Structure 1
Amino acid sequence: MNRTFTFLPPLLGGAALIALIAWFLPSWNFVLAIGLAKGLPVLGLVLLMRGGLVSFGQGLYYALGGYTVGLASQYFGLKDAAALLVISAIGSALVAFVVGLLLSRYRDIFFAMLTLALSMLLYGILVKSTELGGTDGFNVHGITLFGIPLTGADRMNGLLLLIAVCVLGAINLGLFGATAFGRLLAGVRDNEIRVEYLGASADRAVLIAYVLAAVMAALGGAMSGIIVGHIDPEMAFWATSGEFVVIAILAGTGGVLAPFVAAVVLEVVRSFAYQYAPNTWQLVLGLIILALILFLPQGLSGLVRRGPRAVNAGEKS
């Protein structure tokens, strides 16, 4: 098999497994959906991390995707999920392209702080805008896919759509990683000067990666708004962007499946922690995250790398 598509079998297998779990355990549909929706912005964030960049402002595009769905459905009567997802992706890509022209010139802490500042700027606008619901946000109702309901008793349909969006997003970013610009990201992280000496543009590679990451975050926000049925300014708050960074650290940068696994694992752990330790669930969740980081410094994707190395070591011995 072409090495470009080696991620496809585990990706499709993981998607099928999530669908089976949701089918036989419908009470977990909402938790799985929230985890997968957060996995999309984390997938884009992992792409940026391959270039040595950490964005603390992915909540900006997460909120843009959610508010695009809410505004288009409430004020323009657009209820089809396919059209809403396309509009969210295009709108976020245009915003990210304009913003990325500035951000692509910065690296390290400057890049991180600028992304955080832009996200908090949107948060401030949303909180102060009574027309957009202010701090309470507003509800999203009646979203369908070609006439098929996606919420309420038909939430399974929404989860299946979300799984399809996650698979397509992972495939696109996996294929991008095999392109010239995708491979340049590692060079930007390791030695940007050498990249420029080779005649390639590091800023252009960062710009493309930033736009792709923004589209992933917007799709996640759009699907979150559809499934949850509510959007609010917290989607753009720094804590939301920080959670994406934590999940990205848990996932590692080794593959396109790990961000979704890490996001779902975190949501499941959060649910159990809140259920069995309602007064100290944040402490329990923090301890579990700390343990995962200590024992899996390369993230969940490090488990995949460790397996083949152990096999090879056994064969040599």
Structure 2
Amino acid sequence: MRPALIAFLVLLAVLAGLPFYADNLTVFVTMCLAKSLAVLGILVLIRADQVSFGHAMYFAIGAYAAAFLSSAWRDIDLTLLVLAAMAASMVAGLLVGLFVTRYRGIFFGMINLAFSMVLYSILEKAFHITGGSDGMRIRRPTLMGFEFKRAEFDIVMFYVSLGIAAVCFLLVWRYLRSPLGQALRAVKTNETRLEYLGLSARHVLLAGYVVSAVLCGLGGVLMGTVQGLATPEHGFWSRSAELVFIAVLGGQGHVAGAFAGTVIFETVRTFAAAILDDSWQLILGVVLIAIILWAPGGLVELWQRATRRRPRPASEPVETGRQSMEVRR
């Protein structure tokens, strides 16, 4: 069994027991899991060397899909909310992706930003439909017909988020190692060679874009359901920049960086806000800049440094097979 898989299973077991030994952290970790799904979507695009500064719009689409459905059906099931958010973000990602995947680099990022700000303006101005800046309430859904009180619902959401995140991380890990995922990397290195192989670089990028949109939509519906609220701030440009920043902080080379970066980001922000109410951004910025400067590859690089085997000292002789045979004689 690979060390990465063992580490994943150990982390999954530790998180699964969290409500039993640290129940006060349940909601915090649930929100980290939700946001890490959106960061995972950013990492998919970074594999193709494309950065979106507007992917928070799919985060907002997932949250508002849950808000509209819970307002229309009072006892709607959580499964339906998740499926509806996935469908809405997939359709939106396909429609927007057909346009933005024509561009690369800074143009790709800025056009995504433009679309997200259009959505933000609609959510902000359409007060009678979306609730304006106050947002929309997301009613507490049922799960398989069972209703839960607030404390019970927090635990249910934790395990639902943990299960969805575990499946998504495994699927994305497999996707990035599949032929389609390798083709996504080829978009970064040499699009012309990819075209010579008979693959359309635009179609490959579009598939990755839709996957990233669905992941952001999943994160949005989980975050909105936990908080019980969907607001236009979910789709603001600063939320998109936050997702990109966390992706860089966690590390671009591995899917584990999405969760690790989110946990560190949210932990530092929480404790910094507790220390300085008005200047917590200063503490957050200094800590995160220090991490990035020390390890440009992010937290994944720090982990690889810590677990890497130390090389054998040059002064220590290396025993060859013939020498070992002579010693045994």
Alignment of 1:290-301 (within 5 A): 290-301=289-300
User: Is residue 64–residue 136 contact of structure 2 (8 Å, CA) maintained in 1?
Assistant: no
Q: Which amino acid aligns with 2:136?
A: F
1:147 equivalent in structure 2: 145
User: Is 1:124 matched with 2:121?
Assistant: yes
User: Is residue 34–residue 223 contact of structure 2 (8 Å, CA) maintained in 1?
Assistant: yes
What is the alpha-carbon distance in structure 1 between the residues aligned to residue 169 and residue 58 of structure 2? 18
Alignment of 1:1-317 (within 5 A): 1=1, 7-77=4-74, 79-130=76-127, 131-149=129-147, 152-154=150-152, 155-307=154-306, 310-311=308-309, 313-314=311-312
Note closer, same or farther for the CA distance 1:71–1:193 as it changes in structure 2 (3 Å cut).
same
Note closer, same or farther for the CA distance 1:232–1:151 as it changes in structure 2 (3 Å cut).
farther
Unaligned runs of 5+ in 2: 317-329
Write out per-residue CA displacement over residues 107-162 of structure 1, whole angstroms, 9 at most, x where no aligned residue: 10000001111111100000011121101102212212213456721211111110
Offset at residue 315 of structure 1 (A): 8.1
Offset at residue 65 of structure 1 (A): 0.3
Calculate the TM-score normalised by the size of structure 1: 0.93
- Which protein has the larger Cα radius of gyration, Structure 1 or Structure 2? 2
Q: Which amino acid aligns with 1:138?
A: M
What is the alpha-carbon distance in structure 2 between the residues aligned to residue 205 and residue 68 of structure 1? 27
Offset at residue 210 of structure 1 (A): 0.5
User: Is residue 31–residue 268 contact of structure 1 (8 Å, CA) maintained in 2?
Assistant: no
Q: Which amino acid aligns with 2:245?
A: V
Percent of residue pairs identical? 35
Offset at residue 7 of structure 1 (A): 4.6
Q: Which amino acid aligns with 1:63?
A: A
User: Is residue 74–residue 139 contact of structure 2 (8 Å, CA) maintained in 1?
Assistant: no
What is the alpha-carbon distance in structure 2 between the residues aligned to residue 153 and residue 253 of structure 1? 36
Calculate the TM-score normalised by the size of structure 2: 0.90
Offset at residue 10 of structure 1 (A): 2.6
Moved more, 119-128 or 295-304: 295-304
User: Is residue 32–residue 267 contact of structure 1 (8 Å, CA) maintained in 2?
Assistant: no
Note closer, same or farther for the CA distance 1:180–1:150 as it changes in structure 2 (3 Å cut).
farther
What is the alpha-carbon distance in structure 2 between the residues aligned to residue 30 and residue 225 of structure 1? 12
Moved more, 244-253 or 15-24: 15-24
Unaligned runs of 5+ in 1: none
Moved more, 61-70 or 276-285: 276-285
Note closer, same or farther for the CA distance 1:7–1:184 as it changes in structure 2 (3 Å cut).
farther
Note closer, same or farther for the CA distance 1:313–1:205 as it changes in structure 2 (3 Å cut).
farther
Offset at residue 303 of structure 1 (A): 2.7
What is the alpha-carbon distance in structure 1 between the residues aligned to residue 293 and residue 277 of structure 2? 25
Q: Which amino acid aligns with 2:27?
A: F
User: Is residue 140–residue 229 contact of structure 1 (8 Å, CA) maintained in 2?
Assistant: yes
Give RMSD over aligned pairs: 1.9
Q: Which amino acid aligns with 1:208?
A: A
SS of the counterpart of 1:99? helix
User: Is residue 53–residue 240 contact of structure 2 (8 Å, CA) maintained in 1?
Assistant: yes
Note closer, same or farther for the CA distance 1:162–1:150 as it changes in structure 2 (3 Å cut).
farther
- Size of the aligned set, in residue pairs, is 313
